[in-house]
Amino acid sequence: MHGFFCILKMSDYSLHYFLIMPQERSNAMENSINKLIPNSACIKIEHVNRSFGKKQVLFDISLDIPYAQILGLLGPSGSGKSTLVKMIAGIDNPTSGQVYVLDEKMPKLSTMNKIGYMAQSDALYEELTAEENIKFFASLYKLTKSKQKQRITEVMNLVNLSDHLKKQVKQYSGGMKRRLSLAIALIHEPLILILDEPTVGIDPVLRKSIWNELYKLNMNGTTIIVTTHVMDEADKCTNLGMIRDGRLIAIGSPDEIKRTSGSNTIEEAFLYYGGTSK
Amino acid sequence: MRVKAIMIRILLQLAHDKRTIGLMILAPILVLTLMSFIFDGSDYHPKIGIINAPISFVNKLEDSDVKVIRYTENDAYDVLKSSKIDALINFESGIPKITLEGSDPSKSQAVIKLTQNAISKVTPTVKPDITYLYGYDDMAAFDNFGPILIGFFIFFFVFLIAGVAFLKERTTGTLERILATPLRRWEVVIGYLLGFGVFTIIQSALIAWFAINILNIMMVGSFSLVLLITILTAMVALTIGTFISAFANNELQVIQFIPIIVVPQVFFSGLFDLSTMPPWLQSFGHFMPLWYSADALRNIMIRGKGWNDILFDVFILILICIIFTLANILALKKYRKI
C-alpha cells in the first residue's frame, strides 16, 4: 500500500495562531514563540517507526502540527493512533525517528509539564474519591494549594462533576470517569492537550459541551490532539490525520480531505484512502 | 459435550500460559527437594565443650558421636556465648556442671539426654547441675522459631501486598498516566517506599507487640531493636515485591512467585536446623534476606543481644533495600526512558 497521498501545506495555521494569541498565556509559551522561526511547528514528528518485538505498528510517520489547532487522528482501533500520541506525550519512544514538542526532543520532563494527557483507559484510582484523584495529579504538577483549589473548581465545573467531588471513583459511571480524566488532563492549564478517545461513553449533550470547551481552549491558543474512531467528531477538527495499519494515509482539513477524495462525508473519504489496503 | 468443551478450553488456556505449567510442575519439586534436604539430614550430633571431666566420661560422650572440644576456663564462655558450641561441661568436685547454650530447645534436649546417659554409666549416683546461658529449661519450640516467624510473616505479607499494589498501578494504566506528568522515576519508587513505610511501621509494631505480649514469645532484648529489624524486613520485602511485580502480568502471577521467592527463604532462615546439611547448602541461606532478619531477631529476642551484635545484619538488610530500590528505578525505564 502506498498511502502518502496528500501531505498538505499547513503554514497558514501558524499565522492563525498569532492572531488569536491571548495575553494571559504563560511565559513559557511566549518564550517558545520567540524561538519560532516562521512555519516552526508546535509538534514535529520525523520519520517515526515503532515496533513491539517483531510487530511494527507505525511506519515512517512524519507530521508537523502547528500551534493552536485541533488535530484529529482518525483511524480504526489498532491502527496505531494511541501509540503515536503516547510518543508525543513522552511515555513511549519511537524505535527510530524523532518527536519534537515545543522544539524539545521528547521525552523531556520540562516539556511534559506543558502537556495534558488523557489516556484511552481511565487511569484513575478507583478506591479514592474524585477530589483525592484530582488533588493527587495537581500535586504531581506542583500546583500551589490555592491554585489547586481554584483549578479543581474550574475544571470540575467544566466537566459537570462539581456535585460528585466527594464520591469514590468506583461509584462513577463510565461517562463520569471519562469526564474526570479530562478534568485531570486540564488541571495544570497545559499548552498542549492530548486526548485519546475522549468522548467514548459520553452522551451527545455532554459531548457537545466538551467540544465547545475544546474550541474555547483552542481559541486561547491550546494545541489539541484528539484521537477518535467516531467519524462525526472528525468534522469538528481543524485538521485531520487519517491513520490506517500504522501509516498516515492522508492529512488536511476535513473539507480538503473530502474534496481530494471526491467524497461527501469523512467516512467515505476514509474508505477511499484506506480501501486499497485490504 | 459442554463439559468437554470447557475441559478443552481450560487445557488450551493452560497451554497458552507456559509459566503456569512450569510453576505447577517445578514449584512442588523445588519445595519437596528443600524439605528432603532439611528433614533427611542425619541425626544431630551436639558440639560440647569440656573444661574438666573424667576421661571415661569424655570417652562415653565420644562413643555416642558427640563432638567434644577441650577449652580452658578462660575462653570457654566466649565460645559458648557466640553459640559455636551447644553446651559446656565442667566437673567441679565430682559434680558435673552443664551450661547449655539454650536457644534451641531441641538441641538442649539432645545434649541433656546424651550427657545424662554418659554420667549414669560413669558415676551413677551424681546428679548433674544444669544451667542455661540463653533460654530456660521448659522453653517451648515456639520461643525458638517465633522470632523467625515474626520476620517471615512481615516479609510475606508486605511482599504480596506491595507486589499486587504496584502491579495494579501498571495494569490499570495509572502508572503510565503518572509518568505522563513531569514526575521522576525515582520519585515514584521512593514515594512507594515511604507510603508503605508508614504502613509497615504500624504493621510490624502490631505484629511484634502481639507476639511478645499476647503469644508470650520469649523476649529478653530491646523492643525498639526488634522494631528496627521488622521495619527493615518490611522495606526489603517491599522493594523486592515491587521489583518482582514487573515480571508479572496479573495478581495470580504475583502469587506464583511465592514458592520461588518466599518459601526457600523460610527453609533457610533458621526455622529448621540446617547444621546437619552439607555446608555448601547451608551457605545458600546467606543469599536470602530473611536469614539476616531472622538472625538479628533471634539475637535480640532470645539472647538479649544489643546493637553491636546485629550491626552486620542491619547493614546487609539496608544494602539489599538500596540495591532493589535502584533496580526498581531502572525497571521503570521500560515505561519512560527518562
User: What separation in angstroms does the CA of A166 have from each of A56, A132, A162, A173, B281?
Assistant: 44, 8, 9, 15, 57
**Closest by CA position to B136, among listed B104, B176, B165, B158:** B104
CB B115, CB B123: distance < 8 Å: no
Please give the Cα distance from B93 to B100 (Å, whole number): 20
Indicate the residue of B172, B183, B336 with minimum beta-carbon distance to A123. B172
What beta strand segments (E) does chain A contain?
43-52, 55-65, 70-74, 96-101, 104-105, 115-118, 192-196, 223-228, 239-244, 247-252
Burial A132-169 (b: 16+ CB within 10 A, else e): ebbbebbebbebeeeebeebbeebbebbbbeebbeeeb
Across the beta sheet with B67-70, what order do the strands follow?
B67-70, B47-52, B87-92, B95-100, B129-132
Indicate the residue of A107, A123, A126 with minimum beta-carbon distance to B338. A107
pLDDT tens-digit map of B312-326? 999 999 999 999 999
Judge: B182–A91 Cβ closer than 8 Å, yes or no.
no
How distant is the Cα of B163 from the closest Cα of chain A, in angstroms?
Answer: 17
Q: Give residue B271's pLDDT.
A: 77
Q: Specify the 3-state DSSP secondary structure of A166.
A: coil
Q: Give residue B324's pLDDT.
A: 95
Q: Give residue B24's pLDDT.
A: 66
- Taking the CA atoms of A216, A222, A228 and A232 in sequence, report the sign of the dihedral they define: positive
Amino acid at B246: A
Please give the Cα distance from B259 to B33 (Å, whole number): 12
CB A173, CB A155: distance < 8 Å: no
Q: In a 10 Å sphere around its CB, with 0-12 CB exposed, 13-18 middle and 19+ buried, how is residue A37 labelled?
A: exposed
Please give the Cα distance from B67 to A222 (Å, whole number): 83
Q: Give residue B67's pLDDT.
A: 87
How distant is the Cα of A73 from the closest Cα of chain B, in angstroms?
Answer: 20
Please give the Cα distance from B307 to B305 (Å, whole number): 7
Indicate the residue of A91, A126, A137 with minimum beta-carbon distance to B335. A91
pLDDT tens-digit map of B144-164? 778 888 888 888 888 888 888
Ranges of residues in chain B with a pLDDT under 70 are 1, 23-24, 28, 32, 35-36, 38-43
Judge: B337–A108 Cβ closer than 8 Å, yes or no.
no
A70: Cβ–Cβ under 8 A, 6 or more apart, which residues?
A214, A215, A218, A224, A225, A226, A236, A237, A238, A239
Q: How many CB atoms lie within 10 A of CB B220?
A: 12
Q: Give residue B252's pLDDT.
A: 87
pLDDT tens-digit map of B169-220? 888 888 999 899 888 888 888 888 888 778 778 888 888 888 888 877 888 8
Q: Which residues from A are below 8 Å from B179, CB to CB?
A: 91
Please give the Cα distance from A172 to A201 (Å, whole number): 12
Q: Give residue A152's pLDDT.
A: 94
Q: Which residues from B are below 8 Å from A86, CB to CB?
A: 176
Q: Give residue B32's pLDDT.
A: 67
Q: Specify the 3-state DSSP secondary structure of A9.
A: coil
Burial B257-275 (b: 16+ CB within 10 A, else e): bbbebbbbbbbbbbbbebe
Residue keyed to cell 516562521: A38
Q: Which residues from A are below 8 Å from B337, CB to CB?
A: 93, 107
Cell of B166: 504496584
Q: Give residue B201's pLDDT.
A: 81
Q: Specify the 3-state DSSP secondary structure of A115.
A: strand
Q: Report cis status (omega within 30 of 0) of the bond before A107.
A: yes
3-state DSSP of A230-263: CHHHHCCCCEEEEEECCEEEEEECHHHHHHHHCC
Mutant choice from B177, B333, B336 vs A, greatest count of A C-beta within 10 A = B177
Whole-prediction pTM: 0.78
Q: Give residue A26's pLDDT.
A: 43
Q: Give residue B39's pLDDT.
A: 62
Q: Give residue A83's pLDDT.
A: 92
Q: What is the pLDDT along chain A (278 residues), one digit of tens a residue?
A: 343 333 333 333 433 334 334 444 444 444 444 444 445 788 999 999 999 989 999 999 999 998 889 999 988 888 889 999 999 999 988 999 999 999 888 888 899 999 999 998 888 988 888 998 998 999 888 888 899 999 999 999 988 899 999 999 999 988 889 889 999 999 999 999 999 988 887 788 888 888 888 898 899 889 999 998 777 788 888 899 989 889 998 898 888 888 888 888 888 888 887 665 43
Judge: B180–A109 Cβ closer than 8 Å, yes or no.
no
Please give the Cα distance from B46 to B61 (Å, whole number): 10
How distant is the Cα of B149 from the closest Cα of chain A, in angstroms?
Answer: 32
User: What does the DSSP 8-state code read for residue B213?
Assistant: I
Cell of A221: 491558543
Q: Give residue A85's pLDDT.
A: 93
Q: Give residue A271's pLDDT.
A: 80
